[in-house]
Amino acid sequence: MCNALDPISGFLFSGQRGSVHFQCLQHPVRNFGMRKIAVTGFFAVLAISGFGQISAAEKLRNETLARMDSLRRTIDSTLNPRTLDGLLAKKFPETSWVDGRWVYYKDQANIQQLVKPRVSAVIPAYTFYTVTLTNYLDSQVKHYRILILFDSVNLRVYQALPFSLNLNSMELLSRIIGKTFPDSTALVDFMLELQSLMNAGSSGGFENMVFQQVKVSFDLTGAGANPKPVLEHIEMFIENNTIRRFRFTNPSIRWRVMVE
């Protein structure tokens, strides 16, 4: 056992085999100082022992702030007109009550990007997505997968309805008229990829494709029956590997639409 008096603090240190005991000596001059050191040391021990530990209240507060921040980011994303979410919410608002309206519901949208490198090389300003939109017509409520063209430069979205719903919606085809290709092979490869975009959201398919020097023709067929019914006969007229116009013919009623 050894004892030592610290000349500054007035503490008596006694220890045996590494143990340390603190005893306060009643020094007449340093009595106040020793009390101050003892109190300070007490709070220091509390601070050290609590370091790295978070109280339940503080943990709850942090979790609440994190949830609020996540909610704020979600709301900002939906309302921000610079995002695809925001543009869709603005173009197809839930607040619309017009008959025949299309409505975008974020929780039902299931947005999926379509990667089409050949089409994107021809119209690089656009990226392509399929989105579930809800259509309200009279008392009918139906959900459709719709092709969306997103112009990220001018911050606009364009709705390309499935051809089985509305042949007058030519948002996609009108943008490729006048485009020229290096050769017929490049044109054919482009046309095959374009068909997959034209068919987005449709239950039918494209068949009976015929390539000629002045045009490419194919049929939009319905699902189910065998042979499948031809809903539309589509012709793409070309000149020197340049797309000039499209013609759609309904074989049942002899109805035609020209896009040029």
- Mark whether 186 and 257 lie in a shared domain: yes
Does position 10 have pLDDT exceeding 50, yes or no? no
Q: Kind and range of the H or E element at 244? A: strand 242-250
161 or 160: whose pLDDT is higher?
160
pLDDT at 43: 44
Q: Do residue 67 and residue 149 come from a single domain?
A: yes
Give the residue numbers spanning the domain of 243.
168-260
- Do 86 and 151 lie in a common domain? yes
CB-side neighbour CA atoms (13 Å) of 49: 6
Note whether 72 and 92 are same-domain residues.
yes
Pair (208, 228) in one structural domain: yes
Domain boundary at 160, 180, 204, which?
160
Tens digit of each residue's pLDDT (9 = 90 or more) over 107-138: 999 999 999 999 999 999 999 999 999 989 88
Regarding whether 59 and 45 lie in a shared domain, the answer is no
Q: Do 64 and 149 fall into the same domain? A: yes
Q: How far is CA 118 from the centre of its chain?
A: 23
Of 104, 128, 160, the last residue of a domain is 160
CB atoms inside a 10 Å sphere around CB 242: 13
Residue 240 and residue 185 share a domain: yes
If one counts the domains in the chain, the total is 3
Three-class SS state of 152: coil
Select from 17, 32, 50 the last residue of a domain. 50
DSSP letter (8 states) at residue 223: S
pLDDT at 243 over 90: yes
Q: What is the pTM (predicted TM-score) of this model?
A: 0.63
Report in angstroms the alpha-carbon separations of 10 from 33, 130, 225, 240: 9, 80, 103, 104
